[in-house]
Structure 1
């Protein structure tokens, strides 16, 4: 149908808590029907693509595992690029461990090249102590993302960024973050779809990650107001989305591609 493709955030774009957001099912069904390339991007390193597929199926969204690119997967792509024969010590679970195993990347507790920090609920001071000394001995500190908090059904919990901050303070070393808004993850996602910069459209609900990362790479950007950001919040940011919609239900693929031409950027739906 077009030469465009989509990168989409999930929480706040497709669903909010346990509720599907208006128009999400129709929008995703249209992408599949019209064979428009798309990837879901998430800064949560815990779930695997299969976990996310099951999660969306519960919302009535039937998509294959090939449509997910997590910060855990991006982190492994980064490690393979920097040191394909390297080793890593991991604070995290689920998605990041699976991604490392799938890539046959070495996981060790002895003199690793990298210390990887992702989401998890099994953190303890022993693992932080081990990681601290590894970093002081030369291991590079890598964050799957720098989100300071993660939403839960009960409110929030400390995110990966909060854990990384403790190690940064304890070691005096700065982490390299792979997840959004890192250009590494977002550029890698674009390449996975085989799109050029001008053909890529990022849809997100968070200015600091989704919109900032895409804006800095020159992608077309769409902010939906169904998640973390209100119109009033936009005054805080020097960069602005190309288009703004209340939710995916207000976004019509049929007329969208014409509206994202350069002369129509920074307009509002």
Structure 2
């Protein structure tokens, strides 16, 4: 039977700045055998090229076609909902690039959406602007609902934590595009060209990776690395 893998990254391929033992050999095996695979990450801060360069430092050679981020999924989602729209963005280069590539303009003048992703540069002024825009009718979209992110220095607040502040302040609920949302999981399946029963999700979290796979009928492998 033909099959392929959707592979989470942080906690499966690497943790912080250290590669997880066996990860590089596993990816090399997939490549040698011609088995379809796609790296799947909720981190919206980086472009696919950024991810490829990071993996290369861990001894893993791949291409941007094998990387799918929540930034790409979010850009695809809003483009389907409101083609050629506008957005006020709290996030970094990966999210901004993805939105520009689908024809979205970045604006704080009556945008269609406020879109929140990962970001190390967050100010109270940005939150105030986002709050006002949402109150004026902009939709609230987040790249993912993860409340924290692992770093070498320890955990830091994630996209979900930022969005929770805006939800509490505005009374509006955000739409979370990343894992375990079926939108991102289904798009990932289509990118590797497999049917539901041919997909295996490898992840390290029950709440996102395994739940997302189970909801769509994918097989899954939980790693405890």
Match of 1:207 in 2: 206
Q: Which has the larger radius of gyration?
A: 1
Superposed CA offset, 1:171-197 (max 9, x none): 000000001111110111001111111
Match of 2:43 in 1: 44
Assess if the C-alpha contact under 8 Å between 2:14 and 2:20 holds in 1.
Answer: yes
Match of 2:193 in 1: 194
Task: Give the RMSD, CA atoms, in angstroms.
Answer: 0.9
Q: CA deviation at 1:17?
A: 2.4
Alpha-carbon distance in structure 1 between the residues aligned to 2:16 and 2:147: 18
Q: CA deviation at 1:109?
A: 1.1
| TM-score in terms of structure 2 length | 0.98
Assess if the C-alpha contact under 8 Å between 2:85 and 2:103 holds in 1.
Answer: no
Alpha-carbon distance in structure 2 between the residues aligned to 1:22 and 1:127: 40
Alpha-carbon distance in structure 2 between the residues aligned to 1:180 and 1:191: 15
Q: CA deviation at 1:106?
A: 1.6
Whether 1:182 and 2:166 are equivalent positions in the alignment is no
| TM-score in terms of structure 1 length | 0.82
Match of 1:83 in 2: 82
**The residue matched to 1:216 in structure 2 has which SS?**
helix
Whether 1:93 and 2:92 are equivalent positions in the alignment is yes
Superposed CA offset, 1:191-222 (max 9, x none): 11111111111000111110011111100011
Match of 1:261 in 2: none
**The residue matched to 2:111 in structure 1 has which SS?**
coil
Alpha-carbon distance in structure 2 between the residues aligned to 1:195 and 1:80: 24
Match of 1:109 in 2: 108
**The residue matched to 2:155 in structure 1 has which SS?**
strand
Aligned residues: 225
Match of 1:162 in 2: 161
